[in-house]
């Protein structure tokens, strides 16, 4: 990044804003060190990395993301988004983590619609709880979960929209169901 007044202002705003959002503070000296350490990157890359950290950072310590976290976020942008298979693996790990923490009484309250669907219609925590978290059977379950996740994602992409089972019947589908029911009523 070029060392000019405009880039310094954007950089400062980004760093102070992120620090405030995470409940931390930055000294002027730390701001200068960060500026020097991140000079090989464009101001656009730095602000995008900051936005990514605001959305995705799960760590709470240290309160302010480190320079290394910014560099990792920038490198993550270069390599592109996480592959679908890796995302499916992450979702499987979330299920296993929930199972480990809450056991058979866990609720399938996942943000990811496909994970929510799979843990409601295909598996339940009660079924998975028959195996311990250390059980080798869960390794096979994880593989099957990833395959099912990828398959549902293909179906979703092929249709160009969410699966009807994931978002409920469409108005067109409801209309055809109602019309079929009316036709079957006795006269």
Torsion angle defined by CA atoms of residues 96, 100, 102 and 106, in that order, rounded to the nearest 10 degrees: 20
pLDDT in tens, 133-176: 556 667 788 899 999 999 998 866 555 444 444 444 444 444 44
Structural tokens at position 187: 């006269």
Q: What is the pLDDT of residue 80?
A: 59
Q: Are 110 and 91 in contact (CB under 8 A)?
A: yes
pLDDT in tens, 42-78: 899 999 999 988 888 877 788 899 999 998 888 877 6
110 pLDDT band (50/70/90 cuts)? confident
Residue 102 has pLDDT above 90, yes or no: no
Locus of tokens 């619609």: 113
Task: Tell me the backbone φ, ψ of residue 135, rounded to 5 degrees.
Answer: -60, 135
pTM: 0.44
CA 127 → CA 81, 120, 124, 141, distances in Å? 33, 11, 5, 11
């Amino acid at each position: 990044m070029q060392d000019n007044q405009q880039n310094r202002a954007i950089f400062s705003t980004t760093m102070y804003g992120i620090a405030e959002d995470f409940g931390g503070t930055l000294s002027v000296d730390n701001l200068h060190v960060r500026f020097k350490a991140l000079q090989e990157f464009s101001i656009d890359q730095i602000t995008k990395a900051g936005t990514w950290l605001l959305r995705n950072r799960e760590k709470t310590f240290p309160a302010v993301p480190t320079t290394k976290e910014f560099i990792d976020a920038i490198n993550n942008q270069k390599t592109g988004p996480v592959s679908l298979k890796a995302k499916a693996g992450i979702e499987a790990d979330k299920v296993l983590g929930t199972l480990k923490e809450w056991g058979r009484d866990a609720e399938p309250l996942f943000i990811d619609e496909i994970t929510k669907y799979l843990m409601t219609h295909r598996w339940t925590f009660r079924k998975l709880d028959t195996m311990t978290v250390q059980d080798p059977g869960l390794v096979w379950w994880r593989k099957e979960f990833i395959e099912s996740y990828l398959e549902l994602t293909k179906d979703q992409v092929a249709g160009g929209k969410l699966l009807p089972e994931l978002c409920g019947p469409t108005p067109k589908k409801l209309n055809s169901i109602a019309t079929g029911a009316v036709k079957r009523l006795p006269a």
